Structure 1
Amino acid sequence: MYNILTLNKISKAGLSRLGDNYNVADSVENPDAVLVRSASMHDMELPSSLLAIARAGAGVNNIPLDKCTEQGIVVFNTPGANANAVKELVLSALFLSSRKIVEGIEWAKTLKDNADAAKLVEKGKSQFVGPEIKGKTLGVIGLGAIGILVANAAVSLGMNVLGYDPFISVDAAWGLSPKVKHVVSLNDIFENSDYITLHVPLTPETKGVIGKENIAKMKDGVRILNFARGDLADNEAVLTAVADGKIAKYITDFAAPELLDVENVIVTPHLGASTPESEDNCAKMAADEIKDYLENGNIKNSVTLPAVSMVRGTGTRICVIHKNVPNMISAVTTALAGANIENMQSKSRKEYAYTILDVTGDFDVAAIEAIDGVIKVRVIK
């Protein structure tokens, strides 16, 4: 029986995939895994029993990654599971950034109970005029699961689309419309785009990418959409540019006090993945990741360790999380000298690595655990 701790309400569509040999609750002792959405785990004491954490969503800012890696706890996320939900919200933001729809709606409310409302609307609507997006240029920064969907949809809407992603995967490239022009410099995006949308993770390199220096490179009247991470934009620089008219509209899904109730700034309350379909998809993927890891030791979509997956063979499966250092595989196989290794896979990711071995015969787990650089050893019968 596996114990699964839920820190948020997790969709039943996901939990139902775990099976009868799983005890799932929001309060369990000695959890083998945690399923979480937005709850912060940074101040949480991580129990020694914990093997994995699955975030039902893409971002993992609420999880102490370094601590987990040091303790041999695999952290999963669910990339792409909420991609369509975010794409649809971004597309709505494209229209909201062009046509003064929100402003028009708010103004129309002021005419309530006015007998001349119909006439006043006809007289006043000119103040909410805005351009069509067809034929305009959209710059997409980041061509992952969401960025590609946005780029392809914008092509279908008649936009000229520029895409920037120096780390685009082969699979992502295959899914990108051939009408999207892949540029090799962010400056190409900043200098040529009428609209810019962000779809990159928050890293030291991307933090504040929408800042004073890069805003200066943009077209006058540019419209910027941020549905990725709030800190990708320097809010002070954005507000200055909005006030000067350099940025015609800034729309973000990440609230900050200074952004609220500002003309030509629209803040949505983190609605990107807030659809029942997205919540179901994320929960299903998270549950599948946890189940496959606990039962088979397979890793897919981990943000801390490499993807390693191997079909179960005969005998016993040994899973080793270890430092990525020379002679580690030799040390592990030497420790298994009394057993027969039927199959093995090992991959590394930066400072850490993961090795799966299917063995028959006798072996001493303690001998593997004693190897310098080994972090955690699991034996799956």
Structure 2
Amino acid sequence: MFQIKTFNAIAPEGMARFDQENYRINESDEPDGIILRSQKLHEYQFPESVVAVARAGAGTNNIPVKKCTEQGIVVFNTPGANANAVKELVVASLLIAVRPMVQGIEWVQTLSGRDVEEQAEAQKNQFAGTELEGKKLGVIGLGSIGAMVANDAYRLGMEVTGYDPYVSVDTAWSISRRVRRATDIKEVLTNCDFITVHVPLTDQTKHLIGPDELVLMKNTAHLMNFARGEIVDTEAVVKAVNEERIGGFTTDFADEKLLHNEKITVLPHLGASTEEAEVNCAKMAARGLKRFLETGVIKRSVNFPNVEMAFDSPYRITIINKNVPNMLGSIASDIASLDVNIDNMVNRGKDDYAYTLVDVSETDPQKIAAITEKLAQNEGIVRVRAIKRDEESEF
């Protein structure tokens, strides 16, 4: 029986994946897994029982990932599950940036009298805008969201340039060949009329757009940030807007410094706020967490590598260890010393840590317990778990 703890309201379509025969929800202070959305866990004391945290969303800056890694806790996210929702909001914001629709809608509500139609027609020119067709859009970050924005903007008739030195092979295949690839971020900043940022928040991307980058932009360029607030230097962008060194700024992250400026549009973090996105994220998070708990397979983790292996043996030993020489040999030797045969084994490393799956033909629970106890004594091993194969598991 697995114990799951939730933070925030998780869409029931996702929680329904945890069947009542094998899972209990919020019934223990020592859960095996945690599933959450935006709850901040930096001050949370993780019980030793926790082996995984699943974030129903792409960003994990609300989770102490380094701390989790050191404690042998796998952190999952759901990249791409809310990509369409964010993409649609970006496209809508592009349209709003060139067509003052919101202002026009608000103005019409101030009219009165039987000749409202004539009044509107006579004064509509004050809300004249421009068109996106033919304008240049720069997309910084070509992950799931950035790739979709680039493709749809091209279909709207924009000239699109994308920049991402780390674009994955899968994403590269999904991007239209009509999207130009920039080799330097400066190429995007200096040439584009609109620039939208879609990169994860890391130490390297914090204030990716700051004073030095803003000075490269056209004085008519419009900057958009639907990734994470800290990726853009707020004070620098306000100064650039006020000094008319850029044309405007749209962001999905509220900050007092950005308010009450007619050239700055602030949305209340609506990027993934659609029913469909919340359901998709919940389903993906729950499935990833459930797969890990039942099989040890890791897919879409931010702190450990993807590790998959068919589970055909009676038991599987999962091992999180420091990525040091001869660790695999030590693991195999410890298991062999207990007269247990290894059926299959796979290992992947990521930075300072590695993850290993070992399938054994042993069926005696006492011997399995002896294996985990012996491995746990190895100074290089952070966490060991034994999983009994469930023939009825969906995995």
TM-score band w.r.t. shorter chain: over 0.9
For 2:38 and 2:113, the matched residues in 1 are separated by 44
Q: Are residues 24 and 227 of structure 1, via their aligned partners in 2, closer, same or farther at CA, if it must alter by over 3 Å?
A: farther
Residue 361 of structure 2: SS of its match in structure 1?
Answer: strand
Report the Cα distance in structure 1 between the residues aligned to 2:70 and 2:291, rounded to whole angstroms.
Answer: 22
- One-letter amino acid of the counterpart of residue 344, structure 1: M
Amino acid at match of 1:38: S
Indicate how the Cα distance of structure 1 residues 131 and 375 shifts in structure 2: closer, same or farther if over 3 A, else same. Answer: same
Aligned partners of 2:61 and 2:201 also within 8 Å: no
Q: Compute the RMSD of aligned alpha carbons.
A: 1.5
Q: 1:104 deviation in Å?
A: 2.3
Q: Report the TM-score when normalising by structure 1.
A: 0.96
> What is the percent sequence identity of the aligned residues?
48
Which residue of 2 is the match for residue 225 of structure 1? Answer: 224
Residue 348 of structure 1 corresponds to: 349
Distance 1:27 1:256, change over 3 A: farther
Alignment of 1:98-247 (within 5 A): 98-111=98-111, 113=112, 117-247=116-246
Output the CA distance in 2 between the equivalents of 1:345 and 1:52. 20
Using the TM superposition, give the Cα deviation of residue 116 of structure 1 relative to its aligned residue in structure 2, in angstroms. Answer: 5.3
Partner of 2:360: 359
Residue of structure 2 equivalent to 1:368:
375
1:76 aligns to what? 76
* CA apart distance, 1:28: 2.8
Q: 1:84 is aligned with what amino acid?
A: N
Q: Secondary structure at the match of 1:203?
A: coil
Give yes or no for contact 1:144–1:172 (8 Å, CA) kept in 2: yes
Instruction: Give the CA deviation at 1:120.
Output: 3.7
- Mapped to 2, the partners of 1:283 and 1:66 lie a distance apart of 23
Name the aligned partner's letter for residue 10 of structure 2.
I
Shift of 1:37: 0.5
Give, in whole Å, the separation in 2 of the partners of 1:332 and 1:138.
52
Q: What displacement does 1:294 show?
A: 0.5
More off after superposition, 357-366 vs 132-141: 357-366
**Which consecutive unaligned segments of at least 5 residues does structure 1 have?**
none
The amino acid of 1:43's aligned partner reads E
> How far off its partner does 1:244 sit?
2.5
SS of the residue aligned with 2:341?
A: strand
The amino acid across from 2:347 in the alignment is: S
Q: Tell me, in whole angstroms, the C-alpha distance in 2 between the residues paired with 1:136 and 1:364.
A: 63
Q: Deviations for 1:87-127, whole angstroms, at most 9, x for unmatched residues?
A: 0000000101111222222333333x455544443343323
User: How many residues in Structure 1 have an aligned counterpart in Structure 2?
Assistant: 380
Contact kept, 8 Å, 1:6 with 1:27, in 2: the verdict is no
TM-score with structure 2 setting the length: 0.93
Aligned equivalents of 1:198 and 1:27: distance in 2?
41
- State how far apart, in whole Å, the 1-side matches of 2:321 and 2:76 are: 18
Give how far 1:311 is off: 0.7
Residue 34 of structure 2 is aligned to residue 34 of structure 1: yes
Preserved contact between residue 97 and residue 250 of structure 1 (Cα < 8 Å): no
Q: Distance in 1 between matches of 2:27 and 2:189?
A: 49
Task: Name the CA distance, whole Å, in 1 between partners of 2:165 and 2:139.
Answer: 12
Q: Distance in 2 between matches of 1:24 and 1:301?
A: 24
Whether the aligned pair in 2 keeps the contact of 1:6 and 1:24 (CA below 8 Å) is no
Segment drifting more, 204-213 vs 15-24: 15-24
